Structure 1
Amino acid sequence: MGTTPTEVMAFPKIRAIVRDNGTAEVVVAGNSRVVPAGDTVQDLRNNALALIVGEAQTLQRPVRVQIEDPEGHGELIVHPDHKIESVSYEARPARRRAEAPETTPGTVAPAVIDTVPVRAPEPVAAPAEPMTAPAAAEAVDRQPWPPNPVADTTPVPANPEPQAAAAAEEPQTAVIGEEAPPTRRSLKETSFLVSAPVLEPATLGWRGTLTRLGFRMDPSEEELSEREDIRTVSQHWPGPRTIAVVNRKGGANKTPTVVMLSAILARYSGAATVAWDNNESQGTLGWRTEKGSHDRSVLDLIDSSTELLSPSTNAAEIARFVHHQTADRFDVLRSDENEEGDHEVTAEEVDIAHQVLTRYYRLVVMDSGNTARAENWRRMIDHTNQLVVPVTAIEDRAEAARLTLQTLESRGGHDAELARGAVVIVSESTDAKRSMSGDALRRAKDEARRIADGFTPFVRAVVRIPYDPALVNGPIRYEALQPATRRAWLAAAAAVAQGF
């Protein structure tokens, strides 16, 4: 079975260009890499594929490649284990290859993925490092690209003139001493910007220690994975994005999830980020975050929406209504904290507040109440781009999360799409950690794994978070977490950002 093209990420954008002047390059995310020269066009193809295999090994996943050569263009999927799959290949109709066998137009470009066998690399004693051309070219099958010979598509008259046929049979006589006129290359075919991206040395673990001592070490697979997650959460996207954090059961870790996602995305992307407590009455986000120099809430922002949406209003005016988190670099819009609790936010008020916030912020992370039937809850879903469902590893919290997703899926349309593309974040239970029992700790991890595995077939991503006492009580700070917890939340934020 081949790999479905839609299952392979299109990032980074990779192009392999082989020219008829004997040069070739591989362009990865806008950075050009020179392909070692070869005696034939096929040599250049193989050398280019060797560089792309190295890129796939670095990323530890298949990559999609747009290919161009003198005979045609198409798309390949290149795997870290050197397997090459052809998605498409279209011959250039104006090209003629005398050496190509006769083919029919239907054999030029296969309509389905064609897996091309590639010779497996020889086993080595040490862990394999990403291969580079030309050495890696030996591991690439000699005919992986193009997948089929290119047919001669030049039209031939049905009844050629006898004189033309006779002329074709006559041998051509070369004039001794006469040189062929030189072919001038186009400046468009070359560039002086050919420097390849440099893999930064290791900074973590024993490899990082050796690097700091003057011995340059390549990063480990774990560090490369962390760098990829950082790259994912650091990207900017066109237009604002709204994340809804939902679970109809209280105590499911909604508020800590909102704080951690806001802190990580704000820290790494630099995007203006606001965490909004969209509880229908009184939420707890304000209790777990830093308070500003005022007591304003979402109701005050709604009352001042006309002024805030005015073209003449300065962007800094939003600070009068939100509470800035000085260490974690995001803002908090609190829910109404009226002691009487006599106001419930309406759908219209959600629309107004969302319009104001998306004018001043690129990222809105919404906390929510426990009632999926409430007006403000349902209207929040209408504005959502990415759904996040947190759950502690306790069966009633997991069941509530399942019912929340089931409710959205049953509504169809946008709601169902959000449910299918949701990210579920499973946090280990606190009870076992407090007991400090080895058996209890194992049971807690097993239960978290069981719940995570149960959600996996139904949503886009599931991430597990270890227990951390810094998330239990008091204000939540990113830097107060243990390193393993920070790493897990970074992976969760990366999974969320992939949905943007």
Structure 2
Amino acid sequence: MTERTGEQPPTPAGAPEAPTGTGAVAAVTMAVTAAGRTPTIRAEVRDDGTGELTVDGVVQQVRAGSLAEAGAAVTARIAELAAASGHALPAEIRDSDGLWSLLIHPDGTVDEAPRVGLETEGVRVPGSAAAPSRPGAGAPATSTASGRAGSSPAATASASATSAATAAQAAPVAPAATAPSAGTAGGAGTGRREAPPVSGSLALPTLDDLLATRHPAVDGPAEEGWRGTVRRLTGGRWAPHPGPAERRRRGEVASVRRSLDGPRTIVVLNPKGGAHKTTATMLLAATFGLQRGGYTLAWDNNETRGTLGWRSSHADHTRTAVDLLHALPSLTARGTVRIGDLDQFVRTQPTEQFDVLASDEDAASAALFDARSFSELHSILSRFYRVLVVDTGNNMRASNWQAAIDVADQLVIVSTIREDTAQSAAWAIDALRATGHDEAVRRAVTVLSAPDAKVDKELRNRLRAHFGALTRDVVDVPHDPALVAGGPIRFDELHPRTRDAWLHVTSVVAEGL
């Protein structure tokens, strides 16, 4: 946390000197405390890890690696100020979802701030109707007011809702409806509902019904970011709901993890080299593998030599799809192929929980991988992998390329935001539609990769419009320097923004499976 000192009020006479090294913020805090009032402490933290801590107009800049780290730094700093002051200090913390009112103690613990006067100012108070945190608290509001009551439509709506809720609580509760008496036919004219008949055939709840009432994965308190940090700091006493970014990620994870009724094949294509086919194949497989716990294969279906093996972690062997094809007769001679038999041909990516089947890497080899070769391997591999992500070559007329298209459950058309790779992708779509694959194109997903940190926005908009009219969805992924060198792709070395983008891509792809 770095300090930016603006104009600060003069220290009142007789005020104790600020402790050495605490800076202008600490000095102001001590001066205000000595003057008999509580300092006004506000902070803001952002998703990129930056923010500000302001104490009576004196600002400290916050620079951290993430929103969670920024929140922890702000909390720790306020705790230091509280320790210097000798008592807990109230603070208002703003993030992307609104304003949160907290009471931070000298030992770093965090409690709810007093509620008096806060709801009318649109401040989110832990445990209030805007942010329930304890059993019996009200349901979360769909929107929260900002600013003072009556200053905006949101505040007016909030006040109206509060009045309505109060009136509803004060209204008398009607007695429960009873079954009609024998002298009242069906209870007509009584205004009372007839109780449902009790029958031996009435369906009773089962275990499946009980399991169906569990909250979905997107529910539950925050685990990430500022909210997750404060939940941990309070020991769970305050358990705020996750913010929009975390809720979105949870929904995307649930989409990737959805149950499949059989193995699925995803084919990644663009007939031009350098279009990020291999990168997309690796990152799709990594995301599926991490979220589904394995059983994912990235397969280089190049008729001669591809680069998927080069972009993967090295194994203790160099065998490829051609070697597996040649070994099939001996592997099937005993009547069955086991998953362990494949270990000597695939290259396990241990940290991402997927396997890689490389294409032929022998420079002296004259072997060609054709449609029959692809079909034989696909039949075997589909027995052991739930998701197969197939990297295609650059020759659309190759029989193995066409065989992959024929078995694809989902096409992923990739391009960088460049004229040449985009034209190649558009030409591939035209060719697919001309050869009877219209429906596969309509269900396809287009991924546009930024080739550099600076993107041609006009070209990106043109490409989004063109491919958006042809395919189910168009998704952008950012440039990441970690992918530029061309060596093995380390998923954990990618920028969090890149990992989030590929989680989104994978969730969109999964929706088509």
TM-score band by shorter chain is: 0.5 to 0.7
The residue type equivalent to 1:268 in the other structure is: Q
Measured in 1, the distance between the counterparts of 2:156 and 2:227 equals: 16
The residue type equivalent to 1:197 in the other structure is: H
In 1, are the aligned partners of 2:256 and 2:510 still within 8 Å (CA)?
yes
Measured in 2, the distance between the counterparts of 1:243 and 1:380 equals: 9
Measured in 1, the distance between the counterparts of 2:508 and 2:382 equals: 22
Post-superposition shift, 1:307?
Answer: 3.8
Q: How many residues align?
A: 325
Post-superposition shift, 1:126?
Answer: 9.5
In the alignment, structure 1 residue 405 sits paired with structure 2 residue 429: yes
Partner deviation per Cα, 1:313-349 (whole Å, 9 max, x = no partner): 4321110111111111111111111213422211111
In 2, are the aligned partners of 1:424 and 1:455 still within 8 Å (CA)?
yes
The residue type equivalent to 1:280 in the other structure is: E
- Residue 303 of structure 2 aligns to a residue whose secondary structure is coil
In the alignment, structure 1 residue 203 sits paired with structure 2 residue 223: yes
Note closer, same or farther for the CA distance 1:342–1:195 as it changes in structure 2 (3 Å cut).
closer
In the alignment, structure 1 residue 470 sits paired with structure 2 residue 488: no
The residue correspondences of 1:451-462 to structure 2 (distance < 5 A) are: 451-462=463-474
Post-superposition shift, 1:375?
Answer: 1.1
In 2, are the aligned partners of 1:282 and 1:341 still within 8 Å (CA)?
no
Post-superposition shift, 1:188?
Answer: 3.6
In 1, are the aligned partners of 2:294 and 2:353 still within 8 Å (CA)?
no
- Residue 300 of structure 1 aligns to a residue whose secondary structure is helix
Note closer, same or farther for the CA distance 1:399–1:273 as it changes in structure 2 (3 Å cut).
same
In 1, are the aligned partners of 2:321 and 2:360 still within 8 Å (CA)?
yes
**Residue 124 of structure 1 aligns with which residue?**
154
Measured in 1, the distance between the counterparts of 2:343 and 2:156 equals: 56
In 1, are the aligned partners of 2:370 and 2:399 still within 8 Å (CA)?
yes
**Residue 322 of structure 2 aligns with which residue?**
299
Note closer, same or farther for the CA distance 1:240–1:196 as it changes in structure 2 (3 Å cut).
closer
The residue correspondences of 1:392-471 to structure 2 (distance < 5 A) are: 392-412=416-436, 415-430=437-452, 433=453, 441=454, 443-471=455-483
The residue correspondences of 1:92-107 to structure 2 (distance < 5 A) are: none
In 2, are the aligned partners of 1:392 and 1:427 still within 8 Å (CA)?
yes
- Residue 272 of structure 2 aligns to a residue whose secondary structure is coil
In the alignment, structure 1 residue 356 sits paired with structure 2 residue 356: no
The residue type equivalent to 2:439 in the other structure is: E
In the alignment, structure 1 residue 491 sits paired with structure 2 residue 509: no
In the alignment, structure 1 residue 479 sits paired with structure 2 residue 492: yes
The residue correspondences of 1:238-387 to structure 2 (distance < 5 A) are: 238-309=261-332, 311-387=335-411
**Residue 10 of structure 2 aligns with which residue?**
none
Post-superposition shift, 1:220?
Answer: 1.5
Post-superposition shift, 1:263?
Answer: 0.5
The residue correspondences of 1:7-156 to structure 2 (distance < 5 A) are: 124-125=154-155
> Which stretch shifts more, 385-394 or 185-194?
185-194
Measured in 2, the distance between the counterparts of 1:449 and 1:325 equals: 36
Post-superposition shift, 1:271?
Answer: 4.3
The residue type equivalent to 1:299 in the other structure is: V
- Residue 320 of structure 1 aligns to a residue whose secondary structure is coil
Post-superposition shift, 1:127?
Answer: 10
Post-superposition shift, 1:470?
Answer: 1.3
Post-superposition shift, 1:445?
Answer: 4.6
In 2, are the aligned partners of 1:202 and 1:218 still within 8 Å (CA)?
yes
In 2, are the aligned partners of 1:236 and 1:269 still within 8 Å (CA)?
no
**Residue 167 of structure 1 aligns with which residue?**
none
- Residue 125 of structure 1 aligns to a residue whose secondary structure is helix
Post-superposition shift, 1:377?
Answer: 0.6
Provide the alpha-carbon RMSD of the alignment. Answer: 3.0
Deviating 4+ runs (over 6 angstroms):
none
Post-superposition shift, 1:266?
Answer: 0.9
Q: TM-score, normalised by structure 1?
A: 0.60
Post-superposition shift, 1:185?
Answer: 4.8
Q: TM-score, normalised by structure 2?
A: 0.59
Measured in 2, the distance between the counterparts of 1:229 and 1:126 equals: 35
> Which stretch shifts more, 418-427 or 180-189?
180-189
Note closer, same or farther for the CA distance 1:326–1:397 as it changes in structure 2 (3 Å cut).
same
Measured in 1, the distance between the counterparts of 2:196 and 2:394 equals: 77
